[in-house]
Structure 1
Amino acid sequence: MTASPLPHKRILLVFFLLVTVTVYGNTFFNQWTYDDIPVVLKNPDAHSLAGFARNTMPGRPMRELTYIPDHLLFGDQPAGYRIQQLAWHGVNGLLLVALFHALGVELPFALMGALLFLVHPLQSESVAGIAHRKELLALLFALGAVLCFVGSFAAAGGRRLALWLAALAAYGGALLANEATVTLPLVALLYEWLMVEPGKRVLLRRPLVALLFLVAAGAALMYRFRGLLAPEHLLTVYSKNSFGASESYLPLFMGAMKAFGFYLSKIVLPVRLAPEYVFRLSESLWQPWALLSLGLLAAVASAAVFLRRRLPLVSFGIGWFLIFWLPVSNLVPVAYLAADRYMYLCLPGVGLVLAGCLQRWPHRRFVGASCLVIVVFAGLTVIQNGYWRSEHTLWRHAVRVNPDSTWVRETVGLSYLLTGDYEQAAAHAREALRIDRFNIRAYLTLAKAEERRGNLAEAVLNYEKFTMFGAMEYPDEAAQVRLYLPVLRQRQAVQKQHQ
């Protein structure tokens, strides 16, 4: 199967930009939230080319480069940064239509698959969170790489070589935007296996060579990121889920399976979304939800293989989803077990599954139901964007969704502290410490809340705990607290005399 040109590109681009502005336009009223302040506002690398060259805060260079014009034009006003956010997301919608069309999907069904991707509520975090522009840019370059590779099969001679080189360059851009695109070459292999006649294949013309290349690349990656296999990385993931009972790998594996099932449920029913999720981890083999999710994973993978001849588009969509799920699966411990933004690279596969099914069964009721789902999802996304309006709205919604997270509890406690509700701040900080007594920042939040409530003894006690346990992780704040403690102890002594 070879690529065909996409008609009416300019009209389609305007259409996708209009849809993006309609669904995500309310984010222009949002403030800086979540990771925006450290990644964008206080990152000197993102403010000028000179700062970028100094690289004082190593991160994702492609993302930082795009922040520089935003900073020069808009300074510390987040609304201006959102122009790029929405533009990249809309362009990704157009590129998806181009890719689906190149794979043989008729234009109306390609549009519906891309619209599902564009307006799905899981996308709200990536679009509303300016710090998560890395997801938008990574997909932009990944789609460009795949389009070039697919187009190369309809080209010859120098043009084919140019498309291969362009695909490699785009892959490099994707990696510079987000390392989660490391598995992108597997998409090229999957395309050849499903869509290209054996005699026209390039990467799979010699399967043994391709296999050896993948093994060598995998070994190189494992060596490059060998630190991720260290026990401390495992414990980092465990600590985010308030689990410290073991250094065994089994709880991580079972947690990753729970997260996979969680993703499938949120794709189908995208409600109660939040920036942080926790999972109950255990060393037990008998974990019904994890085992059910493992069964679902096996079923999904089996379906991709079973449908490869009858419904190759659906098989390719499933494969795309699984290929981009692997880097964020935490089968190798990296970070959070689940996050909405992790689905940004995966959801094009879901869109292709829908487009492939619509092309195979273009019944009026099926098409109508798909349109209704897209409209409902768009409405849910508008609502979800509203939760990202400020730090206070974001975390107060998050604690309703995820009350068992110590980090959510501590952050919402800080939110109440900043807005003067010291009783709620103390209550949430105490709950954060009940869930995990090693949540160091919760001691600081609790100390500040109790000080403002006039409970100086409690404040001194928790300030002392913060300086005792937090000196290594928060050296500057711990030093400031040490300097402040003598003053507070004097106030405490005076308070006792008047009681």
Structure 2
Amino acid sequence: MSLISSPRKGIVLLFLLLVTSAVFGNTFVNQWSYDDPPVVLKNPDAHSLSGFLENKRLGRPMRELTYIPDHILFGDKPAGYRVQQLAWHGVNGFLLVLLFHAFGVELPVALLGALFFLVHPLQTESVASIANRKELLALFFSLGSLLCYVKSFTSVGARRLLLRVGALIAYGGALLSNETTVTLPLVAVLWELLLVEREKRVLLRKPLLALAVSIVAGAVFIYFFRWIFSADQLLTVYSKNSFGASQSYIPLFMGAMKAFGFYLGKIILPAGLAPEYTFQLSESLWQPQALLSLTLLAGAAACAASVRRSLPLVSLGIGWFIVFWLPISDLVPVGYLAADRYMYLCLPGIGLVLAGLLQRWPKRLFVAGTCLVLVVFAGLTVVQNGYWRNEHTLWRHAVTVNPDSTWVQETVALSYLLTGDYGRAVGHAEEALRLNRFNTRAYVTLAKAQERLGNLAEAVRNYEMFASFGAMEYPEEAAQIRLYLPALRERFAAQKGLQ
């Protein structure tokens, strides 16, 4: 297979940047939303190099570094930040083309596989949400690391050494962007196993040493992230899914399996996307949806093993997906059972599966069908970008997709409160509390809406609930409410006396 010439590389890069701009260009009119304010606007580490060095907030260093020039040039205007968002995404598509080609995929087919990754609607959250630049950077450094490692096998002498050192440095950059890239070396191991002759392998040449290094790396990871193994972290995940009936691990495992099947469904039919999803959790072992997803996971692994000789690229693509799914699977409780942004590192594996199939069966009908799907996905992505226009459009769409989430209901209630629709604010806040009576933010939102409607008795009651139960999570706001309550009680007494 011939190498891609420099002029052709330039054309491919320009084409992918133009596709990215066409598909995600409507995000330039979007406002700050979701995690953008705390991560970008109110984060002193992201505003200057001196602030970054002070490191007042724990975060992803690579992401914060890239915000500094944005802040200097554009201040609090989100449109300027989006230039980097689109640039990183387009360059990642280009690196995927180079990596797929290095794996042995012909250029036109590699381009189609990369386009699948580039235009898929699941990418909207990572690209449209400036706070999620960590996903873009994590993949950029991961692809750079893999490219350096793969190219080192066709190099000799000092160049080979430099490429392997570069692979290690890029891996460090990936970890500093997002710690979920911890499993990246497993992709390199799979590549060696499937596509490298036995006598040329490096990581698999001394499997016991590789195992020992993996164990040490795993121990270091567990030490620094030991908080995720606590009972409180398990309960945090359960709370997000309005589940409080048990502290058993079974509901988490079955929920993670449901999420795996959910991802596969959204990859094939990417409709009804939202920034947050919830799942029905249960201690029961008889959960058909979870068992079906577990069967699909086992089937995917079995398929990868069975086609490793006949379709090694497909096998590698499946392995890529599973390897990057593991850190975000929530098999060890991290936070959310599912999120669109979690698929950013996983989707290149599906793109590689597609490229492998197209290379094996380059039928015109298959290629035409793939191109049609890409056009449809691109259109759906443009629509999905529109839901991220601002906080109100985002969460009012989310509640139609995921009405069973107490956090979505509470956020929608706040949206209606801020826009003066107090009746709807009350309805959504009450629904949030019906789903989870420990959602303390819902009490204060409900109290504010009731107060504006003149229902002072209900306002006092809900403010009191927030002051009592919200102090642990929101101590400053709870203290302010306690100071405000005496005046509100006097207003209520005066209102009652007039009736």
Q: When the two structures are superposed, what TM-score results if normalisation uses the length of structure 2?
A: 0.99
Number of residue pairs the alignment of both structures matches: 498
> Is the CA contact (8 Å cut-off) linking 1:3 and 1:150 kept in structure 2?
no
For the pair 1:455 / 2:443, whether they are aligned, the reply is: no
Look up the match of 2:428: 428
- 2:36 maps to a residue whose letter is D
Q: CA deviation at 1:207?
A: 1.9
Q: CA deviation at 1:336?
A: 0.2
2: distance between equivalents of 1:398 and 1:300? 30
> Is the CA contact (8 Å cut-off) linking 1:121 and 1:381 kept in structure 2?
yes
Look up the match of 1:181: 181
- Residue deviations 1:264-284, cap 9 Å, x none? 000000000000000000000
For the pair 1:35 / 2:58, whether they are aligned, the reply is: no
Look up the match of 1:92: 92
1: distance between equivalents of 2:206 and 2:78? 51
Look up the match of 1:111: 111
Look up the match of 1:350: 350
Change (3 A) 1:338 1:62: same
- Residue deviations 1:247-273, cap 9 Å, x none? 111100000000000000000000000
- Residue deviations 1:309-336, cap 9 Å, x none? 0000000111110000000000111010
Q: CA deviation at 1:5?
A: 4.3
Q: Which SS does the other structure have where 2:228 is aligned?
A: helix
1: distance between equivalents of 2:2 and 2:176? 27
Where does the alignment leave 5 or more consecutive residues of structure 2 unmatched?
none
Look up the match of 1:288: 288
Q: CA deviation at 1:498?
A: 1.4
2: distance between equivalents of 1:219 and 1:62? 24
Structure 1 residues 373-388: aligned runs within 5 Å: 373-388=373-388
For the pair 1:313 / 2:313, whether they are aligned, the reply is: yes
Look up the match of 2:15: 15
2: distance between equivalents of 1:127 and 1:332? 26
Q: CA deviation at 1:213?
A: 2.3
- 2:326 maps to a residue whose letter is L
- Residue deviations 1:330-379, cap 9 Å, x none? 01110100000000000000000001100000001100100000000000
For the pair 1:390 / 2:376, whether they are aligned, the reply is: no
Structure 1 residues 222-241: aligned runs within 5 Å: 222-241=222-241
Structure 1 residues 483-498: aligned runs within 5 Å: 483-498=483-498
Q: CA deviation at 1:397?
A: 0.2
2: distance between equivalents of 1:183 and 1:332? 14
For the pair 1:140 / 2:140, whether they are aligned, the reply is: yes
Q: CA deviation at 1:3?
A: 9.3
Identical counterparts, % of pairs: 73
> Is the CA contact (8 Å cut-off) linking 1:204 and 1:210 kept in structure 2?
yes
- 2:215 maps to a residue whose letter is V
Look up the match of 1:203: 203
- 1:386 maps to a residue whose letter is G
- 2:58 maps to a residue whose letter is P
1: distance between equivalents of 2:426 and 2:310? 59
Q: CA deviation at 1:133?
A: 0.2
2: distance between equivalents of 1:100 and 1:30? 33
2: distance between equivalents of 1:284 and 1:136? 38
After TM superposition, the structure 1 stretch with the greater mean CA deviation from structure 2, 216-225 or 416-425, is 216-225
2: distance between equivalents of 1:196 and 1:216? 26
Structure 1 residues 61-100: aligned runs within 5 Å: 61-100=61-100
2: distance between equivalents of 1:117 and 1:5? 20
Look up the match of 1:275: 275
Look up the match of 1:341: 341
2: distance between equivalents of 1:119 and 1:407? 29
For the pair 1:245 / 2:245, whether they are aligned, the reply is: yes
Look up the match of 2:480: 480
2: distance between equivalents of 1:203 and 1:57? 37
Q: Which SS does the other structure have where 2:437 is aligned?
A: coil
After TM superposition, the structure 1 stretch with the greater mean CA deviation from structure 2, 262-271 or 477-486, is 477-486
2: distance between equivalents of 1:227 and 1:57? 17
For the pair 1:219 / 2:202, whether they are aligned, the reply is: no
Q: CA deviation at 1:6?
A: 5.4
2: distance between equivalents of 1:62 and 1:224? 18
> Is the CA contact (8 Å cut-off) linking 1:278 and 1:404 kept in structure 2?
yes
Q: CA deviation at 1:483?
A: 1.1
- Residue deviations 1:62-110, cap 9 Å, x none? 0000000000110100000000000000000000000011111011110
- Residue deviations 1:14-54, cap 9 Å, x none? 11110001000000000000000000011111000111111
Q: How much is the aligned-residue C-alpha RMSD, in angstroms?
A: 1.0
